[in-house]
Structures are given as C-alpha cells and as structure tokens.
C-alpha cells in the first residue's frame, strides 16, 4: 500500500495545511497517521478514528514509542462512521484512505461526515487499485454527490486516486 499510495501523495492530494483540524477516518494501524500529523503541525489537531479497538490499540502502542513523542497533536477515538464523536462543523478536513468501500451504509456515513465538517470543509477520499473492493472514480463521485458533496479536484495515477469534495 505504501508503495502505490505514498504518504507524501496522501498528504499533498488531500489538501491538508498546517493548523487544520483533521479527522483520519478508518485509520487502521496508522499507516498515514504520522504524515498527516506532521502536515497539520503543532498548531493543528489530528483525530484518528477506527471502529476496531484492536486497530486503535495497535496505533497507540506505535505512538507510545520514543521516536513519536513529538506528535502530541494526535488523539485517538473508537467510533464508527455513522456516529462520529465530534460537534457539528468542527472539522476542517476528513481523510479516508481505502475506507469508503468498507462502509455498508455510505449515504448515512456521508451525511454524518457532512455534519461535522465546517461549512468550507473538505472530504478527501483516496482509493487504491490493489484493494479488492476498489471503487471506480465515478462510483466515488456518485456516492459523494448523493451525500451532498461537490467534487473539487481529482489527483492520482492509473493505480490510485484522491478526490477532494466540499459540502454543497
């Protein structure tokens, strides 16, 4: 995954900027977490959410290592995409890498994501061709359009893409 979707591409293509409040939804073991935390900087905040306690625990063990002690801007939370533990319009950017196909009720999840995003907030969805559930770009656009999002930009290669959406 890291070779086909390098951390630097996820950070660049998602539109993350220093000082942002970012949610990494479906963080798993944290493949992209450090890169995202570095990009928001000490003035920003990175919330990492997964619905599996085992993934959160694995990420916490990783973050507890001395080489990651500088990343005090990361907060982990156990939750699912249908009931996110954030107030309305509190997040600048939601980043999802390989997560959309795993969500059963995409309409419900996208409605919840829309509610926590600020009025000018961005949803960045990244997908990779090696994922067995890889959604075509048009499929991702369709779901997001139905969820009340407008496509801003698409970046990527034949093997992967990141789409940026804004609340409509």
| 73 pLDDT more than 80 | yes
- Which residues contact residue 89 at a Cβ distance below 8 angstroms, ignoring those fewer than 6 apart? 115, 116, 117, 118, 119, 121
State the pLDDT at residue 159.
Answer: 86
So where are the chain's domains?
7-167
| 19 pLDDT more than 70 | yes
CATH superfamily of the 7-167 domain: Vaccinia Virus protein VP39 (3.40.50.150)
Higher-scoring residue by pLDDT: 135, 20: 20
CB-based contact 127:101 (threshold 8 Å): yes
CA 128, CA 5: separation in Å to the nearest integer?
7
CB-based contact 70:34 (threshold 8 Å): no
State the pLDDT at residue 60.
Answer: 96
| 3 pLDDT more than 80 | no
User: How does pLDDT run across 100-136, given as a tens digit for each residue?
Assistant: 999 999 999 999 999 999 999 999 999 998 888 888 9
Closest to 123 (Cα-Cα) out of 89, 91, 94:
94
- Local confidence band at 23 (pLDDT 50, 70, 90 cut-offs): very high
Rounded to 5°, angle at Cα 74 from 43 and 6: 95
State the pLDDT at residue 6.
Answer: 86
CB-based contact 61:31 (threshold 8 Å): no
CB-based contact 33:75 (threshold 8 Å): no
For 103, list phi and psi in degrees, rounded to 5. -85, 125
- Which residues contact residue 70 at a Cβ distance below 8 angstroms, ignoring those fewer than 6 apart? none
- Which residues contact residue 48 at a Cβ distance below 8 angstroms, ignoring those fewer than 6 apart? 23, 24, 27, 30, 33, 56, 59, 74, 75, 76, 77
Average pLDDT of the segment spanning 71-80: 97
Helix (H) or strand (E) holding 145: helix 137-146
| 2 pLDDT more than 80 | no
Rounded to 5°, angle at Cα 46 from 43 and 48: 170
| 1 pLDDT more than 60 | no
């Amino acid at each position: 995954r890291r070779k086909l979707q390098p951390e630097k591409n996820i950070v660049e293509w998602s539109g993350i900027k220093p000082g942002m409040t970012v949610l990494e939804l479906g963080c798993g073991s944290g493949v992209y977490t450090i890169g995202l935390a570095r990009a928001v900087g000490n003035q920003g905040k990175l919330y990492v959410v997964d619905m599996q306690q085992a993934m959160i625990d694995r990420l916490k063990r990783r973050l507890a290592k001395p080489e990651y002690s500088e990343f005090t801007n990361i907060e982990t939370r156990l939750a699912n995409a249908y009931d996110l533990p954030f107030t309305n319009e509190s997040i600048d950017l939601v980043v999802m890498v390989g997560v959309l196909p795993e969500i059963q009720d995409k309409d419900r999840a996208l409605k919840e994501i829309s509610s926590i995003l600020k009025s000018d907030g961005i949803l960045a969805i990244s997908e990779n061709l090696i994922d067995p559930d890889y959604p075509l770009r048009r499929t991702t656009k369709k779901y997001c359009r139905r969820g009340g999002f407008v496509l801003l930009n698409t970046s990527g290669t034949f093997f992967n893409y990141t789409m940026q959406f804004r609340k409509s």
